[in-house]
Amino acid sequence: MMKRREFITLLGGVAAWPLAAGAQPSKLPTIGVLGPTTAPVAAQWTAALVQRLRELGWIEGRTLAIEYRWAQGRADRAAEIAAEFVSLKVDVIVTAGTLNVVAAKQVTSVIPIVFAGAGDPVGTGLVASLARPGGNVTGLSNQSTDLAAKRIELLREVIPGLRRLAIMANVSAPIAMLEVGEALAAAHTLGLEATKFEIRRAEDISTAFETLKGQAEALHLASDQLVNTNRLQINALALAARLPTMHTFRALVETGGLMSYGPNFQHLSRRAADYIDKILRGTKPADIPVEQPTKFDLVINLKTAKALGLEIPPTLIARADEVIE
């Protein structure tokens, strides 16, 4: 678990560390941050959230208390944290990722839950509809499943002769499996031979890479907290296997993945702060429609491309929102 001083440094001074559990002044509204992964992985996400809250007048330690907990990519840990937040009687729980929202929803139907990104909130049963969420849950869809076809098309631009595609996913994650379905359908439409490789825990990752050796020319990763938490290992193994990778989020390209295409998570985090603000001022989550992302980023890692011996088309580089060199 991270030391307080390290976390304050990590956020670059954006937020002061909250008071220890049990020492919160009772008059301060309290939000519980159920971080899907770890503090370092979520640093930009958390900083964007806290910064936007400050802009809205919610200053940590003065007008607002924040309890931070980290699920480290584990569903059992997320359930423990959610239960702890209920016992602490937080005013709002904010999280991201379907499994974490489910964990919170299972322990409370009263405390408002805001998700700063969930793949298919209607399809996974988090909300009744985007326009009228109902219940105590609302937030922002990240449309990760809807973008699977676009990601595969981008891979084909980099590898024009692409024929065989591997799709790796955590089969325990509902949203990852929805994304797999979309990716398989898209691959079929494009005339590609696609094979699914299943993981359930970190220990399965190296075994999956052993199995897919020689069976694919590129790898599409269905995003979930298991994949995000183990991104360094996944990218290292993909590079060793000479496999170009397509990811959902920028953080996975920063750590050696080839490309990502998906919503800008800092933007989603800032929007989540607006939801929290409305709820703390009295609006019911059931009455706040779920929004879809408006900002999508294409990120390309040219260092990884060079290591793989790939030439990225200049037209694609020109379209990229960020190029890592």
User: What pLDDT, on a 0 to 100 scale, did the predictor assign at position 7?
Assistant: 39
Same domain, 117 and 204: no
Q: Residue 15: which residues within 8 A CB-CB, separation 6 or more?
A: 8, 46, 47, 50, 60, 66
CATH number of the domain that residue 227 is part of: 3.40.50.2300
Q: Note whether 77 and 138 are same-domain residues.
A: yes
Do 271 and 307 have their domain in common? no
Give residue 217's domain range.
148-263+297-324
Residues 44 and 167 in one domain: no
Total of domains in the chain: 2
For residues 79 and 9, membership in a common domain is answered with: yes
d(CA 146, CA 125): 16
pLDDT at 265: 85
Same domain, 186 and 282: no
Q: How confident is the model at residue 228 (pLDDT cuts 50, 70, 90)?
A: confident
Q: Mean of the per-residue pLDDT values for the chain?
A: 89
Shared-domain flag, residues 81 and 172 = no
Q: Are residues 307 and 290 in the same domain?
A: no
Q: What is the pLDDT of residue 224?
A: 83
Please tell me whether residues 114 and 234 are part of one structural domain. no
**Confidence label for 3 from pLDDT (cuts 50, 70 and 90):** very low
pTM for the model: 0.77
Structure confidence by residue, pLDDT tens digits, 44-84: 889 999 999 999 999 999 999 999 999 987 889 999 999 99
Distance CA 4, CA 9 (A): 9
pLDDT confidence band for 145 (50 / 70 / 90): low
What local confidence, expressed as pLDDT, does residue 2 receive?
Answer: 43
The mean per-residue pLDDT over the stretch 1-16 comes to: 39
24 confidence band (pLDDT: 50, 70, 90) = very low
Give the separation between CA 225 and CA 201, rounded to whole angstroms: 10
pLDDT of residue 16: 37
Rounded CA-CA distance 259/261 in Å is 7
Nearest to 99 by CA among 32, 180, 181, 175: 175
> Does residue 153 share a domain with residue 104?
no
183 and 80 co-located in one domain: no
